[in-house]
Structure 1
Amino acid sequence: MKLRYMMGAVAAALVLAGCGEDEIELVKNYTLPDFKSMSIGTAIEGSKRCKNITWSKADRGGLKSVTMVCDIDMEALNAAKEKATKERLEKYNKDAINSNMDSIMEFYRGKAYDRNSLLQLANKLCKLNDAKFQETIKAKGKIEYKDQKELIDCDKSLEDEILKDQDPKKDKTYLPGILDFLKSAVYHSQLTPEQLKADYGMSDKAAPSSATIELNFVVNNDKSVDLAPEFKLTADGKEESVGKNVTSKNALAEFYVR
């Protein structure tokens, strides 16, 4: 009888324990009204942003709370940022080349070269002077549009080639403008990735080697879940300040990006 009573008591205890959901699992399985595409746990644990995730329970003034800490995968994050930066800079550079070539072809009256062959000719006879480039960056911290043509050294034969098969009296009027735009096109054509970053005003500040993001969720008495406004971002162990427009909602939204 005693054994049967003990087994019954244990079974009853297990049933009662099963009636109360663990706060962590409740948060993970909860779908917030502002993020209906997936549950909190699916979004965070399915994100590629974290290499490690820890969940813990806490008490917030009598309210049950769950804290999530994500150890950000810095290698993946830096690779993604580098790729995005490269694509943005390449587009910026391509647009600059096209804009200058559009201006050139409005003035160029010759038949010896088309758009592409004219740019090829200029790249053959003109070179970007890296020493002047570095001096300008050091002095100004950036390259202005008016500086670009001063950083390009061209062979004198370029002028004769531009005027070939044309009426020099007529086309010499347009020659200075053509040369200016052509030098700017060459400038953007010959920029190295490092020079392009400097031109764009990007510093070579080293990225942090480690970073974490902490989010907090409040479990209400009715088992609904709210995202707490407090969140924390650290880099190399030091807490980072965030702008006024960056909220815990913004931070959580990043985990839903697929």
Structure 2
Amino acid sequence: MKFRYMMGAVAVALVLAGCGEDEIELVKNYTLPDFKSMSIGTAIEGSKKCKNITWSKADRGGLKSVTMVCNIDMEALKAANEKATKKRLEEYKKKTLDMDIDSAMNFYKGKAYDKDGLLQLANKLCKLNDAKFQETIKAKGKIEYKDQKKLVDCDSSLESEILKGDDHKKTDTYLPAVIDFLKNVAYRSQLTPEQLKADYGMSDKAAPSSATIELNFVVNNDKSVDLAPEFKLTADGKEESVGKNVTSKNALAEFYIR
């Protein structure tokens, strides 16, 4: 009799436990329709964005809710941002450099140099003047395209190098344009990483020492889960304003990036 009573009590306990399933675990194990690649918990806890994560339960006007707070790993974020910035700047530098070399070739009619030869010539006989660069940044806050050739000093032998050789086509070369574009080529190819940032318009704004992101999930009566529209970003303990196009869905999507 005792055995049957104990078994009955266990069964009741299991039923009650099932009815009161922990909302946090339910949210972690849930896969949202818009994020089918993995469950919420796998995405967030498997992300490298957080140094630590806290989950807590709350009540939202009678609805069960779970709040997730991620303390962002600032060192990892900094490294990722630096990597992305470096790639973006390298692509920008290559694109603009190629455009200037192509433009120089359009005005150069000789056969002494191909595109690679003109690039080497520009870097051999022309040098970016950092003092002029810094003065321009200080005065304007940026480098305009028309400023580039003014920031480069070229050796007087550049003209004769462009026109050298017996090729009759040298008389068709539009010398001023070739020199201007070669100055741009030297400018672009000789930019240091810091100069390139300034040219691109990137400021050295100090990054916050700490940041958090808070997301909220609603647990419905049928045990389905919805991502609540409210979310919060903080930096150094102060709430950050976000643009109209940034939503909680955008914020959650960041955790699914691998």
TM-score for both structures, normalised by structure 1: 0.93
- The aligned counterpart of 1:18 is 17
- In structure 2, the CA distance between the partners of 1:229 and 1:80, relative to structure 1 (3 Å rule), is same
Residue ranges of structure 1 left out of the alignment (5+ in a row) = none
**In 1, are the aligned partners of 2:101 and 2:118 still within 8 Å (CA)?**
no
- The aligned counterpart of 2:249 is 249
- The aligned counterpart of 2:48 is 48
- The one-letter code sitting in structure 2 at the alignment partner of 1:183 is K
Show the 5 A alignment for 1:31-46: 31-46=31-46
Aligned counterparts of 1:173 and 1:161: Cα–Cα separation in 2: 12
Show the 5 A alignment for 1:57-136: 57-136=57-136
Show the 5 A alignment for 1:187-198: 187-198=187-198
**In 2, are the aligned partners of 1:110 and 1:166 still within 8 Å (CA)?**
no
More divergent stretch after superposition (146-155 vs 47-56): 47-56
**In 1, are the aligned partners of 2:53 and 2:70 still within 8 Å (CA)?**
yes
- CA shift, 1:172, in A, is 7.4
SS of alignment partner, residue 232 of structure 1: strand
- CA shift, 1:31, in A, is 1.2
**In 1, are the aligned partners of 2:107 and 2:173 still within 8 Å (CA)?**
no
- The aligned counterpart of 2:240 is 240
SS of alignment partner, residue 96 of structure 1: helix
More divergent stretch after superposition (18-27 vs 141-150): 18-27
- The one-letter code sitting in structure 1 at the alignment partner of 2:84 is A
More divergent stretch after superposition (15-24 vs 192-201): 15-24
- CA shift, 1:13, in A, is 5.4
- In structure 2, the CA distance between the partners of 1:4 and 1:164, relative to structure 1 (3 Å rule), is same
TM-score for both structures, normalised by structure 2: 0.93
Which runs of structure 1 show a deviation greater than 4 angstroms over 4 or more consecutive aligned residues?
3-10, 166-170
- CA shift, 1:185, in A, is 0.6
**In 2, are the aligned partners of 1:51 and 1:72 still within 8 Å (CA)?**
yes
- CA shift, 1:4, in A, is 6.5
Of all paired residues, the percent bearing the same amino acid is 79
